[in-house]
Chain A
Amino acid sequence: MNRPRVNRRIFLAVGVGALLVIAGVAGRIGPIEWVYDHTLVPVGSGLTNLGLNTAAAVTNLSKVRNLAAQNAQLESQNAQLRQNLAADDETRRDNDLLRRELGLQVAGAPQEVATEVVAFQPDSYRQFVTIDKGSRAGIQTGMAVLSQGVLIGTIANTSSTTSRIMLITDPDFRLTAEDENTGATGVINGQLGSGLLFNEIDQTAVVKPGDTVTTSGLGGLVPAGLYVGQIESVDGRGNVVFQNAQVETTFQLDQLRFAFVVTGP
C-alpha cells in the first residue's frame, strides 16, 4: 500500500461524504432516500419492534408492584368515561338533530389512514417517528396524527412510501389549540424532556387545572376538536400579555406502535 493511493482513497471517501451531505441539505438526495426507504426501513422495522417489545417488557417489570393500584385507578377512570360517553352520545344526537333542522352538514368521524411505526428519531433530544405510509396513501405534510386516543403530532415530511411525524413533545412543535372548557386559545409547544406547554394564552382568558385542551382548527390541515391533553398547572406570570399552562398528555412514546393520520374531516 503506497501513500498516494491511500491519500486518494481518503480524499475520495471525504469527497463522496461531502457531496452526499450537500445534496441532502439541498434536498436532492431522492434516489438515496428511495434506497433507504426500501432497504434499511423494512429490515430495521423488525429490530424496531424488538426494541419496543423489550422496552415494554422492562417497563412492565418495573411497574409490577403498582399494578393493583393502577388497575383500581383505571377501573375508576373507566366508569367515569362510560358516564361521559353516555352523556356525549345524548349531546351528539341532539346536535345532529338540530343540524338537520337547520340544514347544516352533520359532522362525522374524521377520515383516517392507519399506519405502523417503523423507526424512531436516532438521538436523545428530538422527537420524531417514521411510519410505513406516505404520499401514495394520501398523506400530506401538516396533517394531524392520532394514537392512543390523543393527538401525537403532525406530519413533518413524506416520501412516496413513508412519512415522518413531528411528535407533539418535540421542542420545535407548535400548533394552535384551545381550552375546551373556557374557549381560551393559545399555542401548544413541545418542550425538551417531553413536556407540553399551552403557551401564548391571553392574560384575560380563563384557564384552570383539569381543563381539556383540544386543537382549535385554525389554519393548516389539523381539524378542530382533537384531544391534546389536560391542563396540569397554570402560570399566570408568563409575561404581561400572555399566560401559559403545563399540559399533561396521556401519549407514551414507548407504547407507540400504530398511528392514525387524519386525512380529511
Chain B
Amino acid sequence: MKDVRRIGLLLVVVLSILIQVSLLPALRPLGVVPSLLLPVVVLIGLEGTASVALVAGVAGGLAVDLASATNFGLWTGLLVLAALTAGLLRRAGFELNGPAVALVMVTGGTVLSTAVILLGLADTATSWPVGFIAGTFFWELMLNLILTVAMRPVIRRLVENPDIGAQAIG
C-alpha cells in the first residue's frame, strides 16, 4: 500500500509538471496561466514531508524554468521556498484540518511570482496598464486557489502523512 501511494504521488508530480509546461500555457483559461505546481508542492509540504516536497519543487521548478524564456531560477527558487516554508509551518504545529494554511501560502507564492516577473520588466515596459495587471493577477490567484482546493484531497490520500511534530520537517 505504501509503494502504491508513493507511485501515485510520483505520477501526480510528473503529470503536474507536464500539464504546467504544456497544457496550461496553451489553454490559458481566462487569459492566464495558473500554477498547478505551486499548490501541489505546498500541499505535499503541509500534508506530507518537506524532503518530498523539496524534490518535487526542485524538479518542477527546474522544468518550468527550462520552459520559460525569462527569469531562470524564479520557479525553482519559489517552489523550494514554498516547500521549506510548508515544512516549517507543519513542524510548528499549524492546524492542518482545513485548507486555510495552503490557501494563504499559495496566495503568497502568486504575489511573489507576479512581483518578480513584473519587476523584471521595470526597465523595458513602455506602459503599465493597471487594469490588465490587476485582472490577470486576480484570475491567476482565483484559479490557483481553486486548484489548491481541488488537489488537496488527492495529495492527502497519497502522502505518507507522518505525525505532526519533530519528524514532520522530513
B25-A254 in contact (CB<8A): no
For B69, the chain A residues whose CB sits under 8 A away are 121, 126, 128, 156-157, 164, 166
Q: Is B124 engaged at the interface, CB distance under 8 Å to the other chain?
A: yes
Could you tell me the distance in whole angstroms from the C-beta of A152 to the nearest C-beta in chain B?
Answer: 15
A119-B80 in contact (CB<8A): no
Q: Is B146 engaged at the interface, CB distance under 8 Å to the other chain?
A: no
Binding site secondary structure of chain A = helix
Q: Which residue of A lies closest to B17 (CB)?
A: A40
Other-chain contact of B121, A45, A122, A171 (Cβ < 8 Å): A171
How distant is the Cα of A29 from the Cα of B66 in the complex, in angstroms? 10
Could you tell me the distance in whole angstroms from the C-beta of B162 to the nearest C-beta in chain A?
Answer: 8
B136-A48 in contact (CB<8A): no
Binding site secondary structure of chain B = helix
Could you tell me the distance in whole angstroms from the C-beta of B94 to the nearest C-beta in chain A?
Answer: 19
A189-B126 in contact (CB<8A): yes
How distant is the Cα of A251 from the Cα of B116 in the complex, in angstroms? 28
Q: Which residue of A lies closest to B137 (CB)?
A: A124
Interface string of A45-68 (1 = CB under 8 A from B): 111111110110000000000000
Q: Is B8 engaged at the interface, CB distance under 8 Å to the other chain?
A: no
Interface string of A109-124 (1 = CB under 8 A from B): 0000000000111111
Q: Is A24 engaged at the interface, CB distance under 8 Å to the other chain?
A: yes
Q: Is B111 engaged at the interface, CB distance under 8 Å to the other chain?
A: no
Contacting residues of chain A (202-246) with chain B, CB-CB under 8 angstroms: none
Interface string of A127-166 (1 = CB under 8 A from B): 0101000000000000000000000000011000000101
A10-B63 in contact (CB<8A): no
Contacting residues of chain A (145-204) with chain B, CB-CB under 8 angstroms: 156-157, 164, 166, 171-172, 174, 189, 191-193, 195, 197, 199
Q: Is B89 engaged at the interface, CB distance under 8 Å to the other chain?
A: no
How distant is the Cα of A164 from the Cα of B51 in the complex, in angstroms? 33
Could you tell me the distance in whole angstroms from the C-beta of A128 to the nearest C-beta in chain B?
Answer: 4
For B58, the chain A residues whose CB sits under 8 A away are 13, 16-17, 20
How distant is the Cα of A143 from the Cα of B153 in the complex, in angstroms? 48
Q: Is B1 engaged at the interface, CB distance under 8 Å to the other chain?
A: no
Q: Which residue of B lies closest to A118 (CB)?
A: B22
B residues adjacent to A (C-beta < 8 A): 17-28, 31-33, 50-51, 54-55, 57-58, 61-70, 72-73, 76-77, 80, 84, 87, 113-114, 117-118, 121, 124-129, 132-133, 136, 140, 162, 166-167, 169-170
9 contacts between A and B (CB under 8 A): A9-B54, A10-B170, A14-B54, A17-B77, A17-B80, A52-B27, A122-B25, A122-B64, A122-B68
A residues adjacent to B (C-beta < 8 A): 1, 3, 5-7, 9-10, 13-14, 16-17, 20-21, 24-25, 29, 32-33, 36, 40, 43-52, 54-55, 119-126, 128, 130, 156-157, 164, 166, 171-172, 174, 189, 191-193, 195, 197, 199, 254
